[in-house]
Homo-oligomer: A and B are copies of this chain.
Amino acid sequence: MSKEIPYKIYLEESEIPTSWYNVRSDMKIKPAPLLNPGTGQPLSLEELSPIFCEELCKQELDNDTAFFPIPEEIVKFYKMYRPSPLVRAYFLEEALGTPAKIYYKFEGNNTSGSHKLNSAIAQAYYAKKQGLKGVTTETGAGQWGTALSMACAYFGLDCKVYMVKISYEQKPFRREVMRVYGADVTASPSDTTEVGRKILEQFPGTTGSLGCAISEAVEVAVKNEGYRYVLGSVLNQVLLHQSIIGLETKAALDKYGIKPDTIIGCAGGGSNLGGLIAPFMGEKLRGEADYDIIAVEPASCPSFTRGKFAYDFCDTGMICPLAKMYTLGSGFIPSANHAGGLRFHGMSTILSQLYHDGYMRAVSAKQSEVFEAAELFAKCEGTLPAPESSHAIKAAIDEALKCKETGEEKTIVFGLTGTGYFDLKGYQQYNDGDLTDYIPTDEELEKGFAGLPNVEA
C-alpha cells in the first residue's frame, strides 16, 4: 500500500537540488541560436557579454552540459524560502467531485510572491561575482521586478527597473515593495531613454508593453559602465535556474512514489513552465516516460496557439537579439484590459522548439474564466492566486472535470507560480463585471506578423 499523502509535501533542506538541469542537453533538435540583428549570424559570447553577465552568457549558449552546480551562496539564499511545498489539492478535488488527484507546486511563499526569485538571485549573484555596480531590467505585473529588488538588496547591487506603465499605475504597492528593497523604478515607456522617447512619439498614450520596457532597460545597461541587463523569463539561462521548481517537484513526487499523468503550467515567456516541466521533459525526450504536458496562455496574448514560429525581436525597440520562437510580432501590445502578466509577445526558444516538435500542447483561456477558477481555488485552497497562475488552475480544473466524466483517476500536477495580493485591482474589476474578454482578431494578429523580420536560420 502506498504511503498516505499529506496535504503539503515538504522536502528537507538537505534535499534542495544542488544542480540546475539543462533540458537542452536532452533535446535532439536544439533551440535555434540567438542572432545578431545586424549580421543575421548567431551571437557569440563576445557579442552577448556587453549585455549580460559573462557567466550567464555561457549558460545561455551551452546546449550540452546537463547539470550546472548551484553556487553555495545561492543554495544558502534558497533556504530563505525553499524547498517550496508541493500541495495536494484535497479541498479542490472535493469541491470538483473529481476522481483525479491534483497537486500544485506553490512558489508564492516569499515576498516577491512568485517563482521569479529563483532566477533573480542567480542573476544577481553572477553580477556581483563579476564586480558589477548594478543591473537593469523590465517588469510587467511586477513580480520579476520585486524578485530582482530582493536579490539585489541581498548582494548590495543597484537595481533599475522599467515597469510597464499600466502596471506602474495600477500597482502602486508593488512599486512600494521594490522601493522597500531599494530599487529605482521608472514607468515605461519613459523619456529617460532614446528608445522610450521614440516609442512615446510613435504611440502617445500607450500603456506600455514588456517589449518596450525591455528595450529601455537594455539601452540603460549598455550605456552605463558597470551595468548589465537581466531578464526574468524567455532566456535559456532563466529556464535553467527555474529547473529547480521541476527538480523539487519530481523529488517530492518520487518520495511518495507518485507518477504524474498531466503537467500544466501557465506560459508568458515560459520561465515557470520551462522550469516546472524540465526534468519530466528530460525523461520524455530520453524516452523514459511519457507525460501530457500543457502550456496555458491568455486568449488575449496567444503566442503558442495563434503565433508564428519564426525569428523575431525580443523587444519593441528592435535593439535586442533575434530569437526563433512562437511570436505575435514584437509590435504586439496586449489589450489594456488584460489583467496581470503573461503579456510578452514571444515565448522561450526552448519551449517553442519543444512545442513545434510535438512534445507538449498548448491551450488558451479567457480572462473571465481564469478569474472564476481563481476565486474557486481561493475559497477551496485558502490561497489567493496570481492571475497568471490562475491560467494553470483553470486548465487543471478542466482536466480534472474531464476525469470526472470519464472516471479516470489521473494525477495532475500544476505550477502555482504566485500569489495575487498585488492583483486585487483585477479581482475587483472581475467582481464588478468590468473585466471583458478580449481576443485579438485575425486582422490584428496579421498586423503583428507583418512586422516580423525577414530571417530564416
Contact = CB atoms under 8 A, between A and B. Distances in A.
A259 interface: no
A111 B382 CA distance: 6
A203 interface: no
Contact of A7 (B80, B180, B383): B80
A418 to B, nearest CB: 12
Contacts of A10: 10
A384 interface: yes
Contacts of A80: 7, 91, 381-382
Interface in A138-169: 150, 153-154
A70 interface: no
A153 B109 contact: no
B180 A81 contact: no
Nearest to A80: B382
Instruction: Count the copies.
Output: 2
Interface string A371-385: 000010011011110
Interface stretch (A231-239, A274-282, A285-293, A422-430): A422-430
A421 B13 CA distance: 26
A176 B431 contact: yes
A121 B427 CA distance: 24
A181 B427 CA distance: 11
Interface in A76-94: 79-81, 91
A431 B176 CA distance: 9
Interface residues of A, number: 39
Contacts of A422: 421
Contacts of A201: none
A198 interface: no
B176 A428 contact: yes
B13 A150 contact: no
B384 A111 contact: yes
A106 to B, nearest CB: 10
B378 A111 contact: yes
For the complex of A and B, the 7 pairs showing the least CB-CB separation, nearest first, are A173-B424, A421-B421, A7-B79, A80-B382, A176-B424, A111-B384, A6-B13
17 contacts: A6-B12, A6-B13, A7-B13, A7-B79, A10-B10, A80-B91, A109-B109, A110-B382, A113-B421, A153-B379, A173-B424, A176-B428, A177-B384, A177-B427, A179-B428, A181-B379, A421-B422
